């Protein structure tokens, strides 16, 4: 018959793939203090208009990094606009994605027009410029919906500098820029108002300010001073950072046999 202490060990112990047992010590705050509401409300997005769904996305998927995307039209006119539906995808090949939504009339934003492959009417290239707090206001200015082929570089005052491998300029004031070639554009609901579009780009060059990246390719987060987007017009800095142990170590466990 099992004694009480053994039962407790059994409840908390996990077998790792290499046959080791992860111990039962849990020196972290009890989970019941983290559950905000045992009966949360359920929202069916299909019952909401797209504008309300959008609020749930931008308020709930936070904080989001901001890609300040520069592109160029087939006629050679530069374009600049921020996109916070943005993330890294993988490192082999080195790939990022960002998501320029369709306009309320279902047409493409200028950036999407430009970054589409040549077979779809674009130039197939773009640069993602990381946004530090120092250029936050100018980044936000670049979100002004100017007419197609009117440069937001000039409008925002940000400085265009020639890229190494792609035609669109990078932003001189950005500490870190990713030069990208479009691999694919995925449209979730082609031509529909406010629908999503995913631009997958292969990073073909990384331009970093002196001192930003060390010899082991670690990026200096303090120097980068990136900002993130919350809901609406709210942003956050990345100055309050902390480390967490990972996996079993996060529970204070030691591997033991
Ligand atoms: C911080 C920030 C993040 C934004 N993120 C997105 C986004 O992820 N997707 C999108 O479609 N629009 C986003 N916008 C709005 C676009 O920047 C805006 O529609 C812009 O006019 C598009 O420019 P374009 O027509 O030159 O491409 C964002 C605006 C700001 C200020």
Q: Whole-model pTM?
A: 0.90
What domain range is 14 assigned to?
1-29+230-257
Q: What pLDDT sits at residue 18?
A: 65
Is residue 44 assigned to a domain? Answer: no
Contact between 179 and 165 under an 8 Å Cβ cutoff? The reply is yes
Same domain for 118 and 184: yes
Is residue 57 assigned to a domain? Answer: no
Strand ranges across the sheet with 21-22: 14-15, 21-22, 255-256
83 CA: nearest ligand 1 atom: 5
Same domain for 94 and 24: no
Q: Ligand 1 centre from 207 Cα, in Å? A: 23
Q: Ligand 1 centre from 163 Cα, in Å? A: 22
| Averaged pLDDT, groups of 10, the chain, 257 residues long | 38 58 61 81 96 97 98 98 98 98 97 97 98 98 98 98 98 98 98 97 98 98 98 97 92 61
Taken in order 176, 180, 183, 187, the sign of the CA dihedral is positive
Q: How far apart are CA 102 and CA 128, in angstroms?
A: 19
Same domain for 204 and 100: yes
User: For residue 221, what is the DSSP state?
Assistant: H
Same domain for 139 and 177: yes
Same domain for 101 and 204: yes
CATH number for 76: 2.30.110.10
Same domain for 190 and 73: yes
Q: How far apart are CA 103 and CA 197, in angstroms?
A: 11
Beta strands, E only, 120-159: 125-130
Same domain for 207 and 129: yes
Q: How far apart are CA 76 and CA 57, in angstroms?
A: 34
Same domain for 240 and 212: no
Same domain for 173 and 129: yes
Same domain for 161 and 69: yes
**Structural domains in the chain (count):** 2
Same domain for 255 and 180: no
Quickly list DSSP for 38-53: SS-----GGGS-HHHH
152 CA: nearest ligand 1 atom: 26
Quickly list DSSP for 100-111: -PPPTTSPPPHH
Q: What pLDDT sits at residue 209?
A: 98
Taken in order 247, 217, 228, 68, the sign of the CA dihedral is negative
User: Which residues line the pocket of ligand 1, CB cutoff 6 A?
Assistant: 66, 79, 81-85, 99-101, 109-111, 140, 143, 145, 229
Is residue 183 assigned to a domain? Answer: yes
Q: By C-alpha distance, which of 65, 97, 103 is closest to 84?
A: 65
Q: How far apart are CA 169 and CA 125, in angstroms?
A: 10
Nearest CA to ligand 1 atom 13: 83
Same domain for 196 and 79: yes
Nearest CA to ligand 1 atom 26: 110
Site to probe by mutation for ligand 1, drawn from 50, 54, 81 as the one with most ligand atoms within 8 Å of Cβ, is 81
């Amino acid at each position: 018959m099992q004694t009480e202490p053994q039962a407790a060990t059994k409840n908390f112990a996990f077998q790792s793939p290499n046959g080791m047992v992860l111990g039962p010590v849990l020196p972290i705050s009890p989970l019941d203090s983290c559950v905000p509401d045992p009966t949360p409300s359920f929202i069916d997005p299909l019952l909401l208009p797209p504008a309300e769904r959008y609020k749930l996305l931008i308020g709930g998927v936070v904080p989001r990094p901001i890609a300040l995307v520069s592109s160029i039209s087939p006629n050679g006119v530069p374009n600049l606009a921020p996109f916070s539906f943005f993330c890294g995808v993988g490192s082999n090949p080195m790939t990022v994605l960002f998501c320029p939504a369709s306009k309320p009339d279902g047409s493409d934003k200028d950036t999407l027009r430009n970054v589409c492959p040549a077979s779809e009417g674009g130039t197939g290239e773009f640069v993602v410029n990381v946004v530090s707090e120092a250029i936050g206001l100018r980044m936000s200015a670049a979100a002004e919906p100017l007419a197609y082929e009117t440069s937001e570089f000039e409008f925002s005052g940000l400085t265009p500098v020639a890229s190494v491998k792609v035609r669109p300029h990078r932003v001189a004031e950005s500490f870190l820029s990713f030069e990208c070639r479009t691999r694919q554009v995925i449209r979730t609901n082609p031509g529909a108002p406010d629908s999503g579009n995913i631009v997958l780009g292969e990073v073909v060059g990384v331009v970093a300010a002196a001192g930003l990246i060390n010899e082991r390719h670690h990026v200096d987060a303090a120097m980068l001073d990136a900002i993130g987007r919350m809901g609406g017009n709210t942003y956050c800095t990345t100055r309050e950072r902390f480390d967490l142990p990972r996996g079993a170590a996060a529970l204070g466990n030691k591997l033991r046999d």
